[in-house]
Amino acid sequence: MRRRLMRALGMIALALGMVIVGRGPLYAADGSIRIGSFLAVTGPASFLGDPELKTLQMYIELINTDGGVNGRQLELIHYDSQANPKNAVGFVKRLIDQDEVDIIIGGSASGETLAVMPLVDKAEVPFISLAGSIKIIDPVQKWVFKTPHTDRMACQKIFEHMQGEGIQRIGMISGTGGFGKSMQGQCQEVAGDYGIEILADETYGPKDTDMTAQLTKIKGTEGIQAVLNPGFGQGPAIVTKNFRQLGFEVPMYQSHGVASKKYIELAGEAAEGVRLPAAALLVADKLPDTDRQKPVVVAYKQAFEDRHGAGSVSTFGGHAYDALFMAVEAMQRCQCSDAAGVRDELEKTAGFMGTAGEVTMSPEDHLGLGLSAFRMLEVKGGDWALLD
Amino acid sequence: MLAELVQFLFAGLTAGAIYALVGLGFGLIYNASHVINFAQGEFVMLGGMTTVFAAAAGLPLAAAVAVAILVTVAAGLALEMVAVPTRNASVVTLIIITIGASISYRGAAQAFFDKQFHTLPSFSGEDPIDFLGAAILPQTLWVLGITVLIVIALQLFFHRTLLGKAVLATSHNRLAARLVGINVQLVLLLSFGLSAALGAIAGVLITPITSTNFEVGIMLGLKGFCAAILGGLGSGVGAVVGGLLVGLIEAFGAGYISSEYKDAMAFGIILLVLFFMPSGLFGKRTTERV
């Protein structure tokens, strides 16, 4: 009887011991700087999250073999949000409360980023978002930064180019997904500044498979000089094919949402002559040697493609690169990793050359990119060509 | 004006033909087993994705299509073998099994293939054909032509062959069919396989126009289900008419009213039809015998 009791007690003690040991690594600070991340690695926005995660993993590994930051190793704690804001909120809570991370780099999509902003603000953790929406940084929130250019900047860049071409009346066809909708709104707001009138304004669902009906309507509108299609995913590729099918004689403008080789592959010949704004990364090899951004984008492209295959680089992974190095440089400047110190230092980022362009932040601007971050491209012979 | 109308008409017919093929797949399985197979859309996805990857691996297009149909049929048969032997399971349980299967197929496609969108070259060029002022893709004619052929073939199969009649008999009364010596197990396998093949063909036909990825099956399955319900579940003519109607409502709705509400219009009209004709346009009006 006694023996059995002892054995039972022993078992319990053993089990408790295992629980404690098991919890060990979760809380072990062991001097590493903890970078938390939630990205849409799978799901509808996986084309964003997948290269972003690969980029973070690759460079954190490189930084660590080089001795880390301020003599401390970096540790990446990552969750897959599947671009679902609900998941993102849960994971960010976990990153803050349980994993006790020093900084959060993540949020592939705008929806999930906006959903977690109140949380990071309350917890006072610096957060660099990788999503596009202008709402993330306007109005400025103390703890939130972002690296990708905004939809508004893309609209401005496109309209600037149209202005140069003498285009004044356009038709617009936008996806109703988060990206298309946001950009549609931004373009409507800034079109007037460039003397551009939107005569037709059509939409399509993110999973629609045929847009000839909407495009026929645009074609029937008198006086259209160009068609603009804000959207991402396969939608713009179908719009492009339908556009050629209907035999439009005006130029087509796409957004930076399709700035990947996948778009040319999907739209095929129909993509010829399509113009779009994109980050310099896309045309890294074609930039003139005098371009100050060239060394950064060429190095990133090479590193990424060496590991993940030729042609695998995308601007989205570049956003993660920019965020990581902006954070690392801030930590190196202040020789700190505490939340308040890193945040203040991030805000002082000046002349940082990233894959998206040159970044100079201020308390009023948590993005710090100018219009020069975008290059106008045209699809020529199944590849990108610089327009300006 | 006429050009616009014809353009919308063909846009609607193309999408509608695909919905019709998916709807027919729903009907086939429903007739044989009273199960609504929510993995139907995944058959479309498997057909398209397998063709893309088989073609990328170096197979000529025709062989890639054959491989894709075989793979999809295998997936359909596997579903039947897993789902139906749960003998005492209610129809609801079986339906839930098909939902599970659809998620598994999606996951498997994501793991085996990838998460990207892919496309296939059109079967006979990309140059649009001018027809009454509207621009029609050659691929659209492929979609419509093959759909018509399949519908005719199915009609012949069900009304002219012994096996087809056996399937019909099973759909009317499974017990009676078994009593007259019909191998009900075989009929079930056949209808799942046939339904998967239909889905695969739809997937191959539509991929050059719309491109495909591991998730396209969700929406196509839903629209095909609407087609089947609208036409009357289990009715072959119903599925075809239902599919074309859903496609046409979408295209004309987007063209003439507003592209914002095209899905809402399609679903709204389905609700209206079901409100007044609960068994669909061509469904059998069943009377419960008390």
A247 inside 8 A of chain B by CB = yes
User: How many cross-chain Cβ pairs, A to B, lie less than 8 Å apart?
Assistant: 90
Report yes or no on B245 lying in a domain. no
Residue in A203, A209, A217 nearest the CB of B255: A217
Residue whose entry in the numeric block shows the structure tokens 């690169």: A321
Does the beta carbon of A221 lie under 8 angstroms from any beta carbon of chain B?
no
* pLDDT tens digits, one per residue of B97-133: 999 999 999 999 999 998 788 989 888 888 888 888 8
| Contact between chains at A216 and B255 (C-beta distance less than 8 A) | yes
pLDDT digits (tens, 9 = 90+) for B147-180: 999 999 999 999 999 999 998 898 888 889 989 9
Q: Identify any residues that bridge with A252 across adjacent strands, giving them in sequence order.
A: A227
* In chain B, % of residues over pLDDT 70: 96
| DSSP character string of A257-326 | GG-SHHHHHHHGGGGTT-EEEEEGGGGGGGS-TT-TTHHHHHHHHHHHHHHH-TT---HHHHHHHHHHHH
What is the ipTM score, two decimals?
0.77
User: Under an 8 A CB cutoff, do B251 and A241 touch?
Assistant: no
* Predicted pLDDT of residue A110: 86
Task: Tell me if B113 is assigned to some domain.
Answer: yes
Q: Average pLDDT of B242-253?
A: 92
Range of the domain at B193: 2-217
- What is the count of structural domains for chain B? 1
B251 to chain A: nearest residue by CA? A213
Of A207, A210, A244, the CB nearest to B14: A210
Q: B222 to chain A: nearest residue by CA?
A: A207
Residue B11 has its nearest CB partner, among A44, A212, A220, at A212
Q: Does A216 touch chain B (CB under 8 A)?
A: yes
Say if CB B230 and CB B270 are below 8 A apart. yes
Residue B276 lies in a domain: no
Classify residue B153: in a domain, yes or no: yes
Query: What would the pLDDT profile of A246-267 be if each residue is shown by its tens digit?
Result: 989 999 999 988 888 888 988 8
Q: Using the beta-carbon criterion (under 8 Å), do A202 and B259 form an inter-chain contact? A: yes
Query: Model's pTM, two decimal places?
Result: 0.75
Burial call A159-193: b when 16+ CB within 10 Å, e when fewer: bbbbeeeebebbbbbbbbbbbbbbbbebbeebbee
CA distance A61 to chain B (A): 25
Q: B242 lies in a domain?
A: no
Chain A residues within 8 A of B120 when measuring between CB atoms: none
Q: For residue range A157-193, what is the model confidence (pLDDT) as tens digits?
A: 999 999 999 999 999 999 987 788 889 999 999 999 9
Quick count: other Cβ atoms within 10 Å of Cβ A68? 17
Q: What is the pLDDT of residue A51?
A: 93
Nearest Cα residue in chain B from A181? B260
List beta partners, residue A146: A129
pLDDT at A22: 40
Domain assignment of residue B256, yes or no: no
Taking 50 as the threshold, does the pLDDT of residue B256 lie above it? yes
CA distance B276 to chain A (A): 29
Q: Kindly give the parts of chain A with pLDDT less than 50.
A: 17-29
CA separation for the pair A179, A256 (Å, rounded): 10
Nearest to A213 among B11, B215, B219 (CB): B11
Q: Is residue B288 part of a domain?
A: no
Cβ distance of B218 and A207 shorter than 8 Å: yes
Q: Please tell me if residue B262 touches chain A, with a CB cutoff of 8 Å.
A: yes
Nearest chain A alpha carbon to B218? A207
Query: What domains does chain A contain, in order, with CATH numbers?
Result: 33-150+297-373 (3.40.50.2300), 152-285 (3.40.50.2300)
Residue B28 lies in a domain: yes
Instruction: Print burial letters for B1-15: b (CB count within 10 Å at least 16), e (below 16).
Output: eebbbbbbbbbbbbb
Q: Which of A41, A53, A216 would you mutate first to test chain B, the one with the most B CBs within 10 A?
A: A216
For residue B7, list chain A residues with Cβ-Cβ distance below 8 A.
212-213, 216, 246
Q: Which residue of B has its CA nearest to A234?
A: B117
For residue range A23-62, list pLDDT tens digits in order: 433 444 458 999 999 999 988 788 889 999 999 999 999 9
- Who wins on pLDDT, B234 or B120? B120
Task: Say if the Cβ atoms of A266 and B211 lie within 8 Å.
Answer: yes
- CA A8 to each of CA A17, A18, A19, A20, B56: distance values in angstroms, whole numbers, following the listed order: 14, 15, 17, 18, 61
Contact between B264 and A224 (Cβ < 8 Å)? no
- DSSP letter (8 states) at residue A175: E
| A382 in contact with B, Cβ within 8 Å | no
Spell out which residues of chain A touch residue B215, defining contact as CB-CB under 8 Å: 44
Q: Could you tell me if A169 lies within 8 Å of chain B, comparing CB atoms?
A: no
Residue of B121, B209, B251 lying closest to A213 (CB–CB): B251
Tell me what pLDDT residue B273 has. 84
| A245–B137 CB contact, under 8 Å | yes
Looking at residue A27, its pLDDT comes to 41
